[in-house]
Amino acid sequence: MNATRLRLHSTPAPAGPRPTLHRRESHRDATAPTTYALRQCPQHRSPLITLVALLCCVCASSAPSAATAGGERPTFTVPTEDLSPAMFRLQVRRALGLAWRQLEHQPTCRKLFSDLGADGQQLLTEAEFMRAEKTPYAHICSRRLGVMGTEVGGQTIGICVDGFQRLDRHHAAALMLHEVLHHAGMREFPHDPNALTSREITTLVKQECDL
């Protein structure tokens, strides 16, 4: 019996320059996905492949990227690598991203800041979120429920790593907005007898920002 021999033929690579991928630098936080675009469309011998390649090139050049769709991406000040565990930094960025989105989509959330004559999104990007032990607010971490601390009009917000890591993302975002409200000038009881308590401020933020 004669054995049938199969010969495998490899398809030669199409002639012409290869497409090159150029990384687009994002101005957002480090967890945001990196986006790429085709700079040069390859030349192919097959008309069908050429058509597909052209369509891909048109999509890559005309569709808005994640970095620009919906406006400019915010840039937040978060703890640096030499100060913080990677998971902690990731949780901080995710909570900040959620806080930003709620400010963007909830008019009642923005009104909390506009009533104080401030722009919540602007203050959220200006605030410096740091590990509490590197700030004047380290003492808050010794409290049973201590998570964050700042002062009225203060730009630096201290975060207790252990307390923060126990929070879900929505509660963490609410506490961040709570502290940024202090950055905007909101006072708190008992320092101001006529002001809301800390718990009341957090409850207000959760209600108005849908958190």
| 66-88 tens-digit pLDDT | 333 345 667 777 766 555 678 88
Which two three-digit tokens encode residue 186? 């909101």
Boundaries of every domain in the chain: 21-62, 86-208
Structure token digits, residue 19: 């497409």
How is residue 38 written in tokens? 């085709």
Q: Find tokens 């718990």 and name the residue.
A: 199
Residue 8 clears pLDDT 50, i.e. is over it: no
Report the 10 Å Cβ neighbour count for 78: 21
Least confident of 24-28, 32-36, 128-132: 32-36
Instruction: Output the pLDDT for position 145.
Output: 72
- First-last CA distance in the chain: 76
In the chain, the percentage of residues whose pLDDT exceeds 70 is 62
pLDDT given for residue 36 in this prediction: 33
Does the structure show a pLDDT above 80 at 94? yes
Give dist(CA 89, CA 85) in Å, integer. Answer: 6
Q: Dump pLDDT digits (tens) for 188-203.
A: 998 899 999 999 999 9
What does DSSP say about strands 148-149 and 128-131: parallel, antiparallel, or unpaired?
unpaired
Report d(CA 211, CA 204) in Å as an integer.
10
Is the pTM for the entire model greater than 0.85? Answer: no
